[in-house]
Amino acid sequence: MKELQHPDSRGFELVAEAYERVRPGYPPELLAWFAERLDLRPGRTVLDLGAGTGKLSRSLVETGARVLALEPGDEMRARLAAAVPAAEPIAAGAESIPLPNASVDAATAGQSFHWFRFEEAVAEVDRVLRPGGGLALVWNERDPDDPFQHEISELLEAFLPPWRRRVAEAGWREVIERSGLFTAIEERQSHFGDELEADALVERLATVSFVASSSPERRDELERRLRELAAGQGGVVRFAYLTQAYVTFSVG
């Protein structure tokens, strides 16, 4: 249920502090899969694309690899620097990476690849990857089979801009596949969830970009409805995710 919004993602800059505090990380089993397939270890360099506040970068640092964290947003990058001081922040987007050719062993994108201009980003990632280097993508999507998430989707429907599409329909896979630059895409998925009280539920939904950039009146109404939902479940809700992960390798 993760939707693709307009490429203007400035809404995240409005909620960078909350994004860092309330957004979850990624399932350990998928992070371990990334580390194994990308051969992340001391002496290797990985580029984290659209790194945000470092939700994925911090797990990459734990592998011992050198982590370059590419993030164009000033507020998000400032939070990243504070939260993951071992990562090296770079103020740039995935469409114009200020690194030499064949300079990184692997690249990742957590909750971000759908924001990129795909044709440009795919070519740039291939350019900076060493031959055989891996690209790993991951999204925490709201679990489409969870009844509570259906209620959340109904509340968010009024906020969705007309250009939004689900990640699965965004076209990134087709661009990678037809580029001829990468191998067949490998896939894994994992379910997880966490328990949220009303305040945390409101904050988490407030970090959705199109909610953050909406009017105060609409945000207030959403907060009221979310608190009603939480109250109807005893004040605590289970926020369920289906995490989708993908790995592919440069054929260069």
- In what helix (H) or strand (E) does residue 199 lie, and over which residues does it extend? helix 198-206
234-243 pLDDT, tens digit per residue, is 999 999 999 9
- Inter-CA distances, 18 with 28, 66, 102, 193, 233, Å: 23, 27, 36, 19, 24
Average pLDDT value for residue range 102-106:
98
Q: What pLDDT, on a 0 to 100 scale, did the predictor assign at position 236?
A: 95
C-alpha dihedral, 6 to 10 to 16 to 20, nearest 10°? 30
Pairing, β 3-4 against β 165-166: antiparallel
Sign of torsion, CA 199 201 203 206?
negative
117-163 pLDDT, tens digit per residue, is 999 999 999 999 999 999 999 999 999 999 999 999 999 887 776 65
182-207 pLDDT, tens digit per residue, is 999 999 999 999 999 999 999 999 88
Q: What pLDDT, on a 0 to 100 scale, did the predictor assign at position 212?
A: 82
- Which residues partner with 68 through β-bridges? 47, 88
Average pLDDT value for residue range 35-59:
97
Q: Answer yes or no: is pLDDT of 1 > 50.
A: no
Average pLDDT value for residue range 64-68:
98
Q: How confident is the model at residue 12 (pLDDT cuts 50, 70, 90)?
A: low
Average pLDDT value for residue range 31-51:
98
207-233 pLDDT, tens digit per residue, is 887 788 888 898 999 999 999 999 999
Q: What pLDDT, on a 0 to 100 scale, did the predictor assign at position 7?
A: 40
Task: Mark 45-67 as b/e (b = at least 16 C-beta within 10 Å).
Answer: bbbbbbbbbbbbbbbbbebebbb
Half-sphere exposure of 92 (CA within 13 A, CB side): 17
C-alpha to C-alpha distance for 57 and 130, rounded to whole angstroms? 20
Q: How confident is the model at residue 85 (pLDDT cuts 50, 70, 90)?
A: very high
What are the φ/ψ torsions at residue 193 (nearest 5 degrees)? -160, 165
Helix, coil or strand: residue 162:
coil
Q: What pLDDT, on a 0 to 100 scale, did the predictor assign at position 5?
A: 36
C-alpha to C-alpha distance for 197 and 186, rounded to whole angstroms? 36
C-alpha to C-alpha distance for 139 and 50, rounded to whole angstroms? 12
Q: Answer yes or no: is pLDDT of 166 > 70.
A: no
The tokens of 137 are what?
């993508």
Ordered by where they begin, the domains of the chain are 3-141+163-193+242-249 (3.40.50.150)
Average pLDDT value for residue range 48-62:
97
Q: What pLDDT, on a 0 to 100 scale, did the predictor assign at position 163?
A: 54
Mean pLDDT value across the chain: 90
Per-residue DSSP letter, 2: P
- Which residues partner with 45 through β-bridges? 66
The set of residues, in sequence order, having a beta carbon less than 8 Å from that of 140 and lying 6+ positions away, is 2, 24, 26, 111, 241, 243
- Inter-CA distances, 58 with 73, 94, 164, 170, Å: 18, 19, 29, 27
Q: What pLDDT, on a 0 to 100 scale, did the predictor assign at position 160?
A: 74
C-alpha to C-alpha distance for 250 and 113, rounded to whole angstroms? 17
Percent of the chain with pLDDT over 90: 78
